[in-house]
Structure 1
Amino acid sequence: MSEEKFSVEAFEKKYVARLKDRTLDWNVLKFQEEIDPAYRRAQMRYIGRGATANNDSNVIAAEHFTLSTMVLPAGCMGPLHLHDDVEEVFFVIKGSVTALIQEEGESEVHEIILNERDCISSPPGVYRGLRNDTEEEALMLVMLGAVKPNLPTYPKGSALEELRIKRAIEREAIINGK
């Protein structure tokens, strides 16, 4: 069996993601924004497609985790959501955000202020969210600890959880040909 010679060009094509080749995706979480305009935010994927698995061929294929950046406009938030299978890391690159943490089955939401270069890791089974209480947009690095995480759930009774359940039923009907 002959081994191919290492090619830095092929390596770069497969394993390098450049900012100039990325665009902010304001639509990936648009379904949340349709529930509440305060959920407006954008994602820029670098490694993997994340839990939404958007068809983005311009990313480095994930082998163990996903990595993206997220823009959180002033006054906006990422709603409380729970990943049952994966930890999620938020690293603040620019600005300041309030991390929201809630234990499953509990009603109290804890708030933790994160400033530039602060980081929080949320383990599986803990609701997490973010809020930008400032007048400047925030920029964060977001990592999920799996190639293709399960879709997140939202607090019981919330409009987002009701929409998630409805979409799951519709998706199941399509799969089953109904």
Structure 2
Amino acid sequence: MAIDIKEFEKKHVARLQDRSLDWNVLKFQEEIDPRFKRAQMRYIGRGATANADSNVIAAEHFTLSTMVLPAGCIGPLHLHDDVEEVFFIIKGSVKALIQEVDSDEVHEIRLNERDCISSPPGVYRGIHNDGDEEALMLVMLGAVKPNLPTYVKGSELEELRLQRAKEREAIIADK
């Protein structure tokens, strides 16, 4: 079976020139705390948010995106119960934040350019750009459509997530 290279390229190649930074995908977090501002650029799959983006390569086993984290900003602690998540630092220096469930202690691990961290399912993870320049990361999730993440119990983000889940359930029940 011969490969039609034009069709292959159309289906399996994602070019930077065809992408744009999505500053809105996680805007709900930024509305709680301006330090949660960051942008995502999807390449493979739609990720946990599953935002409609017809310009991505269809995922078969994982998702891949880049994330811009401005100086001073934070990717808040969150937990994926079903997948590992990988952060690979392309540019800049950040602190990876790791917290066990039912623990108040947040561990910090310095990551510099070309450093990588893989967070297993069931562990809270986050990123803090404590530097003066924006950081650029590659982010991978180990499933085509990961479960939505949860946040640290009692945090504003977790309260918002629970509220949205109740609203969603009420809408589904009314149909």
The residue correspondences of 1:11-26 to structure 2 (distance < 5 A) are 11-26=8-23
2:156 is matched with: 159
2:92 is matched with: 95
- Provide the rounded CA distance (Å) in 1 between the counterparts of 2:108 and 2:149: 20
Q: Does 1:170 align with 2:156?
A: no
- Provide the rounded CA distance (Å) in 2 between the counterparts of 1:6 and 1:79: 44
2:43 is matched with: 46
Equivalent AA in structure 2 for residue 88 of structure 1: E
Q: 1:129-156, CA deviations, whole angstroms, 9 ceiling, x for partnerless residues? A: 0000011000000000000000000001
State the SS of the aligned residue for 1:165: helix
- Provide the rounded CA distance (Å) in 2 between the counterparts of 1:118 and 1:6: 36
1:32 is matched with: 29
Cα shift at 1:6: 2.0
- Provide the rounded CA distance (Å) in 1 between the counterparts of 2:132 and 2:103: 31
- Provide the rounded CA distance (Å) in 1 between the counterparts of 2:107 and 2:141: 21
- Provide the rounded CA distance (Å) in 2 between the counterparts of 1:15 and 1:59: 9
Equivalent AA in structure 2 for residue 54 of structure 1: N
- Provide the rounded CA distance (Å) in 1 between the counterparts of 2:174 and 2:6: 45
Equivalent AA in structure 1 for residue 108 of structure 2: E
Cα shift at 1:175: 1.3
Count of matched residue positions in the alignment of Structure 1 and Structure 2 = 175
Equivalent AA in structure 1 for residue 54 of structure 2: S
State the SS of the aligned residue for 2:8: helix
1:78 is matched with: 75
Unaligned runs of 5+ in 1: none
Q: What's the C-alpha RMSD, in Å, of the aligned pairs? A: 0.8
Aligned-residue identity in percent:
81
Cα shift at 1:57: 0.5
Cα shift at 1:176: 1.5
Q: Does 1:62 align with 2:59?
A: yes
The residue correspondences of 1:126-137 to structure 2 (distance < 5 A) are 126-137=123-134
- Provide the rounded CA distance (Å) in 1 between the counterparts of 2:13 and 2:83: 25
Q: 1:97-148, CA deviations, whole angstroms, 9 ceiling, x for partnerless residues? A: 0000001111100000000000000000000000000110000000000000
- Provide the rounded CA distance (Å) in 2 between the counterparts of 1:16 and 1:171: 35
State the SS of the aligned residue for 1:44: strand
Unaligned runs of 5+ in 2: none
- Provide the rounded CA distance (Å) in 2 between the counterparts of 1:174 and 1:140: 36
Equivalent AA in structure 1 for residue 51 of structure 2: N
- Provide the rounded CA distance (Å) in 2 between the counterparts of 1:105 and 1:8: 51
- Provide the rounded CA distance (Å) in 2 between the counterparts of 1:132 and 1:83: 21
- Provide the rounded CA distance (Å) in 2 between the counterparts of 1:117 and 1:156: 32
- Provide the rounded CA distance (Å) in 1 between the counterparts of 2:53 and 2:85: 20
